[in-house]
């Protein structure tokens, strides 16, 4: 692919981009001087779809006009509202509809899934995680381990990159799983690590876990809507994700859950139950005795959070139109362009060197690149912010940037390095 380091060339890439019109479906924040910011934090909080407000207003109107009747007689009856989200969510993660439900929030779902899928015995009680997982995941796992009467020091095994390396290698993860062997109850990994941006080989990890008799679950907070997923085919046991990062569904938005079809009728699995997971036809009979619905829906507890789900629905419609494959193709093109600009930048500038700690391999990364600029990283971060580039800083030394194919442009990639060069 021929590439050129110029504004005109970046603009020509945008002109040829078949997804270019999607940017207009999002509210782009502005600086105090009224200029659109360069928003590279879609991995943290995705931008608001312009259709979100209307989607919420529709539900508010139905509530105003119908009151409780909205459950059955609204334009999208609330009784079954969550089902509107199932097919598009299943498409995003490569699942069958029976394997997916949208409910609760991410950490809550992690707990519910561990209730069913972390069932330690005195011999098999260990959990393998990527070292330095997102804190909420660490706390969830630690408290689950204690809940079962085990000591986190003994039960939680973290795998870290080798000395002087930033990310993990799949063969090392697989070897670790083999080493823990019969003591391993659960592998709980991120799909994409929030700090390094590394995308893990979920298929290989799942297979290795199964070979030693363990369960494999994934936190897809940084993977859903970012990288192509085929959870069913990879034989993943369970997964969960939030919807406010790459999925643009608003702060504190709802969460998605995947439970493999092989558990669809596993009524004997322990689970924490609530009425929304009860057999739908009998739900309002208010009878004793919990009978779970088939598949992931049987893990629901409470009636659906209609307002956050309305936003999620609006956002999923955009993903349905764009299609994950087309988004991924544009991402790959953006990735090539970033590395081209980055390499030129590092060659030309002697003020500082940008090191990328995310794997360059397109199968081991998504939209996020984690940049390390030794010594002056924090100052560079502050300079970018002052100049209308929204990126984020993660202690101890990383600037995360995540250009996303839905609303970011090639021009913004060019401008990013242009602004950096003025530091």
Ligand X SMILES: *Cc1c(COP(=O)(O)O)cnc(C)c1O
Q: Is 256 near ligand X (CB under 6 A)?
A: no
Q: Does 129 bind ligand X (CB under 6 A)?
A: no
- Report if residue 130 touches ligand X, rule: CB under 6 A: no
Q: Does 263 bind ligand X (CB under 6 A)?
A: no
Using the rule CB under 6 A, give the single segment among 100-108, 313-321, 322-330, 390-398 that binds ligand X: 100-108
Cβ atoms of residues 242 and 226 within 8 Å: no
Q: How far apart are CA 215 and CA 128, in angstroms?
A: 10
C-alpha distance from residue 188 to each of 101, 137, 193, 266 (Å): 20, 9, 12, 21
344-373: string of b/e by CB count within 10 Å (b at 16+)? Answer: ebeeeeeebebebbbbeeeebbbbbbbbeb
167 binds ligand X, rule: CB under 6 A: no
DSSP output for 260-292: -GGGTT-TTS-----GGGB-GGGGGG--SS--B
**According to the annotation, is 104 in a ligand binding site?**
no
Q: What are phi and psi of 24, to 5 degrees?
A: -70, -5
The residues with which 278 forms a beta bridge, in sequence order, are 292
244 among annotated binding-site residues: yes
CB-nearer residue toward ligand X: 201 or 219? 219
Binding mask 329-368 toward ligand X (x if CB under 6 A, else -) reads ----------------------------------------
Residue 203 CB, shortest distance to ligand X, in Å, is 19
Selected from 48, 107, 198, 249, the binder of ligand X by CB under 6 A is: 107
Indicate which single residue of 70, 74, 190, 256 sits in contact with ligand X (rule: CB under 6 A).
190
Query: Is 80 marked as a binding-site residue?
Result: no
Q: Running DSSP on this structure, what letter comes out for residue 181?
A: G
List phi, psi (to 5°) of 36. -65, 135
Binding to ligand X by residue 42, rule CB under 6 A?
Answer: no
Q: Is 201 in the site for ligand X (CB under 6 A)?
A: no
Residue 68: DSSP 8-state? G
Q: Is 219 annotated as a binding residue?
A: yes
Least distance from C-beta 366 to ligand X, angstroms? 12
Element (H, E) at 259: strand 255-259
Contact status: 137 vs ligand X (CB under 6 A): yes
Size of the site for ligand X (CB under 6 A): 12
**According to the binding rule CB under 6 A, does residue 277 interact with ligand X?**
no
Structure tokens at 375: 């010594």
Is residue 136 at the binding interface for ligand X, with CB under 6 A as the rule?
yes
CB nearer to ligand X: pick between 86 and 254: 254
> Which residue blocks in 74-230 are alpha helix, DSSP H?
86-93, 106-117, 135-147, 152-155, 170-180, 202-211
186 binds ligand X (CB under 6 A): no
Query: Which CB atom, from 117 or from 134, has the smaller least distance to ligand X?
Result: 134
- Distance of alpha carbon 59 from alpha carbon 1, whole angstroms: 48
What string marks each residue from 205 to 244 as x (binds ligand X by CB under 6 A) or -? Answer: --------------x-xx-------------------x--
* Beta-bridge mates of residue 199: 192
Residue 222, annotated ligand binder? Answer: yes
Question: Residues 6 or more apart from 86 whose CB is under 8 A from it?
Answer: 97, 100, 101, 102
Report the binding-site residues for pyridoxal 5'-phosphate: 106-107, 134-137, 219, 222, 244, 275, 303
Which residues of this chain interact with ligand X, rule CB under 6 A? Answer: 105-107, 134, 136-137, 190, 194, 219, 221-222, 242
């Amino acid at each position: 692919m021929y590439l050129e380091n110029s504004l005109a060339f970046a603009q020509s890439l945008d002109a040829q981009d078949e997804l270019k019109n999607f940017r207009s479906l999002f509210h782009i924040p502005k600086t105090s001087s009224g200029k659109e910011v360069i928003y590279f934090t879609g991995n943290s909080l995705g931008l608001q779809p312009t259709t979100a407000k209307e989607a919420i207003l529709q539900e508010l109107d139905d509530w105003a006009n119908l009151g409780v009747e909205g459950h059955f007689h609204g334009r999208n009856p609330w009784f079954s509202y969550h089902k509107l989200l199932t097919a598009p969510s299943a498409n995003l993660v490569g699942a069958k509809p029976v394997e997916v439900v949208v409910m609760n929030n991410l950490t809550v779902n992690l707990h519910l899934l561990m209730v069913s899928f972390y069932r330690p015995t005195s011999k098999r009680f260990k959990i393998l995680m990527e070292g330095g997982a997102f804190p909420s995941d660490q706390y969830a796992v630690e408290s689950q381990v204690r809940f079962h009467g085990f000591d986190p020091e003994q039960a939680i095994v973290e795998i870290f990159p080798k000395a002087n390396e930033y990310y993990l290698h799949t063969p090392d993860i697989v070897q670790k799983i083999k080493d823990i062997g019969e003591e391993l109850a659960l592998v709980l990994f991120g799909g994409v690590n929030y700090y390094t941006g590394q995308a893990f080989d979920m298929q290989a990890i799942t297979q290795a876990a199964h070979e030693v008799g363990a369960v494999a679950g994934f936190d897809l907070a940084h993977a859903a809507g970012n990288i192509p997923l085929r959870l069913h085919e990879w034989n993943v046991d369970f997964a969960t994700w939030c919807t406010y990062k790459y999925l643009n569904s608003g702060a504190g938005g709802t969460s998605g859950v995947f439970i493999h079809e092989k558990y669809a009728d596993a009524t004997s699995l322990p689970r924490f139950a609530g009425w929304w997971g009860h057999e739908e036809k009998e739900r309002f009979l208010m009878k004793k005795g919990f009978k779970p619905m088939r598949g992931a829906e049987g893990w629901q507890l409470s009636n659906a959070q209609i307002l956050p789900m309305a936003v999620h629905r609006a956002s999923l419609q955009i993903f349905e139109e764009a299609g994950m494959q087309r988004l991924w193709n544009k991402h790959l093109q953006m990735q090539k362009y970033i590395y081209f600009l980055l390499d030129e930048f590092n060659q030309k500038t002697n003020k500082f060197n940008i090191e990328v700690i995310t794997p360059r391999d397109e199968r081991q990364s998504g939209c996020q690149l984690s940049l390390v600029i030794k010594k002056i990283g924090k100052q560079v971060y502050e300079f970018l912010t002052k100049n209308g580039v929204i990126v984020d800083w993660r202690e101890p030394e990383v600037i995360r940037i995540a250009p996303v194919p839905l609303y970011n442009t090639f021009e913004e990639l060019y401008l990013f390095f242009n602004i950096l060069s003025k530091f």
